[in-house]
Amino acid sequence: MKELVEVITKALVDDPESVVVTEREEKKATVLEVRVADSDMGKVIGKQGRIAKAIRSVVKAAASKEDKKVIVDILD
């Protein structure tokens, strides 16, 4: 899942080198924390959060195929 989020996020931003995705396990889910450059934050979130919601939907669909729960957090 981490690689999927990295590929999607790097395709959206102007500075793909600044994209950092960290993965941590919690009791019931895997949490993926996405960090991007401040100038690219709007591109990852999108108008009214549409792009962020789309990223979460794609990851949720991929995770459900593997019977996992994945949470995507976009950090500033």
Q: What is the CATH number of the domain that holds 67?
A: 3.30.300.20
H or E element that contains 73: strand 70-75
Is 76 a residue whose pLDDT tops 90?
no
Domain containing residue 51: 2-75
pTM of the model: 0.91
Reported as a single tens digit per residue, the pLDDT across 42-67 is 999 999 999 999 999 999 999 999 99
Angle at 75 between CA 46 and CA 15, to 5 degrees: 65
Read off the DSSP letter of residue 66.
T
> Domain tally for the chain?
1
Mean pLDDT of 9-36: 96
The DSSP 8-state label assigned to residue 44 in this structure reads H
Q: What percent of the chain has pLDDT over 70?
A: 100
Do 11 and 38 touch, CB atoms closer than 8 A?
Answer: no
